[in-house]
Amino acid sequence: MTDALVADVLFGAFALGSVITGWRVFRTDSMMRAAFFLLASFAAVGGMLVILGAEFLGMVLILMMAGEMLVMAIVMVMFMMNPAGLNPMWMVHQHRVAVAAGVSSFLAIASLGFLVDFREDPNVQPEMATVELGIELLGDSMLVFQTAGVLLLATMIGAVAIASSRGRFGAAEEGSEEPALDPEDRAAS
């Protein structure tokens, strides 16, 4: 079997896997499983990027996501009630609307592929992708690249400033209250 065939089969598998795991994220009670499913979905997308020729992007996506998902899992276990999903729960609102929106957005995007006929201009030398990206990063798009870096730095500083226990206006716990879940109590408060 040829390399092209292998690539197609792999791509199909990754596509199926990414969508299924992405769907499972919202179908499991356990926050931890949700995080791991999302990670699997990301890894599959990374695999697809690699097959599409964007080797660097795909690997970087996978690399990024490992740490990100771990943080996400830890945050969920910290803050969410019943993180292990040991007792069944249904933490969902406006379900029908959400389903409708999801399906319609899927149809919209998918139909684009058939309504619009895109320019047939395949990437002729995918093996050069990484080199080109590097030259682009430190060449014409240097400004964009730097901006992204500064943006990330600003995000880090801001995140620490917001999340730290002592904010600009003194200790964050001051006047902290837990709002009630039931509407009538909330109306009262």
Partner 1 sequence: MRPAAPLELAVPLVGIVVVIGVYVVAVLDQAISELVGGGTLRWRRVAFDPLRSAAHLVTQQRRTTERPDTPGWILAPALLSALAALALAMVPLGPTTVAADPETGFVVFSAAIAFVMIAVYLHGWSPNSLFALHGAYRFGAQALSLQIPFLLAMLATTLPAESLSIVDIVQAQESLWNVVRQPLGLPLYLVVGVGASFWGPMNLPDAADLAGGTGVEDSGVARLLWKSARSAMLVAVAAMGATGFLGGWWGPWLPGAVWVILKTLVLLVVLIAAGHLFARVRVEAFVVVAWALLIPLALLNIFVSGAVLL
Partner 2 sequence: MITVEFVLIVAGALFGVGVYGALSQQSFVMLMMGLELMINGAILALVGFWAFSAGGNPQGQMLAIVFMTVMAVEMAIGFTLVTNVYRVRRADITEKLRRLRG
Partner 3 sequence: MVLRRLLTRLAAGAPVPVLPVAGLGMRDALRELRIRPELRPVDVPAAASVLVAAGSLPEEFGDPLALLHDGMPHPRAVVWWNPGNSAGPLLRRFADPTVVDGSADELVSAVVRVRRELYSGHRPSSEPVLAETGRAPWEGVGPYGQGGSGMTGGVPYGRPLAEVAPDRDGLRLDVVPLTVGPFFPQFPPGLRLEATFSGDVVVDCLPLVNPFVDIAHHALPVRPGLDVFFRALFEPVPIAELELARARDHLVWLADALSAHGLPALGVRALRLTHELEGTAAVPGVRRLSRAIEWSQVLRWSTRGVGRFDAAGRTSLGGCGPVARAAGLPDDARMEDATYRALGFELIVQDGADAAARWRQRLAEVVQSLALAKRAGAQRSEVTGQVESPRGLLTAGSAPASRLLPLLPGLLEGLEWGDAVATIVSLDIDLEEAGLAERLASAQAGAT
Whether residue 30 contacts residue 84, with contact meaning beta carbons closer than 8 Å, is answered with: yes
Task: Give residues 64-123 in contact with partner 3 (rule: CB under 8 A).
Answer: 78-79, 81-82, 86-90
Phi, psi of 95, deg, nearest 5: -65, -50
Count of residues for the chain? 189
* Identified binder of partner 2 from the candidate list 107, 138, 146, 185, rule CB under 8 A: 107
Which of partner 3, partner 1, partner 2, none sits in contact with 82, Cβ below 5 to 8 A by type?
A: partner 3
Q: Coil, strand or helix: which one is 167?
A: strand
Q: Any contact of residue 55 with partner 1 (CB under 8 A)?
A: yes
d(CA 64, CA 46): 10
Whether residue 138 contacts residue 145, with contact meaning beta carbons closer than 8 Å, is answered with: yes
| Structure tokens, 65 | 């996501």
Task: Give residues 154-183 in contact with partner 1 (rule: CB under 8 A).
Answer: none
Task: Give residues 110-169 in contact with partner 2 (rule: CB under 8 A).
Answer: 110, 112-114, 118-126, 128-129, 132-133, 135-137, 140-141, 144-145, 148, 151-152, 155-156, 158-159, 162-163, 165, 167
| Structure tokens, 106 | 């899927």
Strand-pairing partners, residue 45, are none
Contact residues toward partner 1 (CB under 8 A) are 30, 32-33, 36, 39, 50, 55-56, 59-60, 62-63, 66-67, 69-71, 73-74, 84, 86, 127, 130
Contact residues toward partner 3 (CB under 8 A) are 78-79, 81-82, 86-90, 165, 171-173
